[in-house]
Amino acid sequence: MTCKRFAIFLFLKTINYRNIMKKLAMGIDIGGTNTAFGLVDEDGTIFSESAISTEKYKKFDDYEAYIKTLCESMHALIGSVSFDFELIGIGIGAPNANYHTGMIEAPANLWKFRDDEPNPDESRRMFHFVDDIKASFPGVDVAITNDANAAAIGEMVFGNAKGMKDFVVITLGTGLGSGVVSNGELVYGHDGFAGEYGHITVDSRTYGRQCGCGRRGCLEAYASATGIKRTAFELMAKMSCDSELRETPYSKFEAVMLSLAADKKDPIALEAFRYTGEVLGKALADLVATTSPEAIILFGGLAKAGKYIFEPTKWYMEENMMATFKNKVKLLPSGIEGKNAAILGSSALIWQKQIK
């Protein structure tokens, strides 16, 4: 490059920097009840957000109407922003989402066949979600992954895993999800479905707890909001002590009741947390042997029980860990948790690429 050309290049660079436009990424979180979405900047500030019902469109035939409503609502949200900005991409977190193919594959609670469906072939329930969104946002980068992976990227970009190259996020909600980051990259695996740590077997006996996946004894049947509820009911049968927990039927019982009861030193609640921490801590010790993370972040509803779940989990994790790893791995709460954590996590799918 000659001196003259270099001067022109520098001049153009300067102009470019002076006129730089605000960049925002759209984050979409698809839940069984609602689909929330918002515009997020590089610092994790949400400038504008909205939601549509997912439940209203839960039948197979409703999928196209759902996509249409979602895209229209997103365009409306974009139109409502009062300043000019560049939409750098759309990141989506959804159950059964495949990062490699951009598809949502046979989700348990979304776009299901009606009971009178003449041909209920599950292989038809493969939704080209990324392509369908792209059709309405031509030229925009669109990426999808499952909720736990989105949470992991969210922690890496905006939360407690900033600057980490090797860590794990465990989501403790209705089920147990996991997002494993290694060498600064999410472990998607060959088929895009890696990170199903909720479905390792922790009780291989024939009478292990039934799991939603059709098998028995999976980790998530013990260590999740649903799992600890199941434990509490087992303990009501095993233990003879008084407990306010005995007043609520199974169908109305929520995991948060265990935190409230533990505050009052309810022995069943305390034992339920100890046992859950034992199962989870032992499973995490095994995960450490495999992936040797800098930190494990507990995310989601059950993690909000704080010390009740963190203390026993940490204790059993250390107790069962190989000496090489002892006292090296941090057990952390989420750094992005809040009502918008899922939107942040999904938008981070896009922001992550910008930061690299």
Give the footprint of a copy of itself on this chain (CB under 8 A): 164-167, 178, 180, 182-183, 185, 187-197, 199-201, 204, 213-215, 282, 285-287, 289-294, 320, 322-325, 328-329
Q: What are phi and psi of 22, to 5 degrees?
A: -60, 135
Task: Give me the least distance between CB of 10 and a copy of itself, in Å please.
Answer: 19
C-alpha neighbours within 13 Å on the C-beta side of residue 302: 29
Task: Give me the least distance between CB of 182 and a copy of itself, in Å please.
Answer: 5
Task: Give me the least distance between CB of 200 and a copy of itself, in Å please.
Answer: 4
CA distances from residue 279 to 156, 202, 255, 302, 311 in whole angstroms, order as listed: 26, 8, 17, 14, 13
Task: Give me the least distance between CB of 197 and a copy of itself, in Å please.
Answer: 6
Task: Give me the least distance between CB of 321 and a copy of itself, in Å please.
Answer: 9
* Minimum CB distance to a copy of itself smaller for 182 or for 243: 182
- Write out the two tokens for 64: 């196209």
How far is it, in rounded angstroms, from Cα 296 to Cα 313?
11
How far is it, in rounded angstroms, from Cα 224 to Cα 134?
35
Task: Give me the least distance between CB of 8 and a copy of itself, in Å please.
Answer: 17
Length of the chain: 356
* Minimum CB distance to a copy of itself smaller for 69 or for 101: 101
* Minimum CB distance to a copy of itself smaller for 214 or for 249: 214
Whether the CB-CB separation of 127 and 59 falls below 8 Å is answered with: no
Q: What is the DSSP string of 320-336?
A: TS-GGGTTTSEEEE-SS
* Minimum CB distance to a copy of itself smaller for 180 or for 298: 180
Q: If residue 232 lies in a helix (H) or strand (E), which one and from where to where?
A: helix 225-238
Task: Give me the least distance between CB of 16 and a copy of itself, in Å please.
Answer: 24
- Write out the two tokens for 299: 């995310």
Strands 46-53 and 126-127 turn out to be unpaired
- Write out the two tokens for 103: 């598809």
Neighbouring CB atoms inside 10 A of 116's CB total: 6
Q: Tell how far CA 6 is from the center of its chain.
A: 47
* Minimum CB distance to a copy of itself smaller for 71 or for 295: 295
How far is it, in rounded angstroms, from Cα 291 to Cα 166?
8
* Minimum CB distance to a copy of itself smaller for 134 or for 330: 330
* Minimum CB distance to a copy of itself smaller for 102 or for 293: 293
Task: Give me the least distance between CB of 110 and a copy of itself, in Å please.
Answer: 16
Q: What is the DSSP letter of 187?
A: -
* Minimum CB distance to a copy of itself smaller for 26 or for 110: 110
- The SS3 assignment for 52 reads strand
* Minimum CB distance to a copy of itself smaller for 37 or for 167: 167
Instruction: List the Cα angle 101/146/35 in 5-degree steps.
Output: 105
Q: What is the DSSP string of 253-269?
A: --THHHHHHHHTT-HHH
Task: Give me the least distance between CB of 151 and a copy of itself, in Å please.
Answer: 16
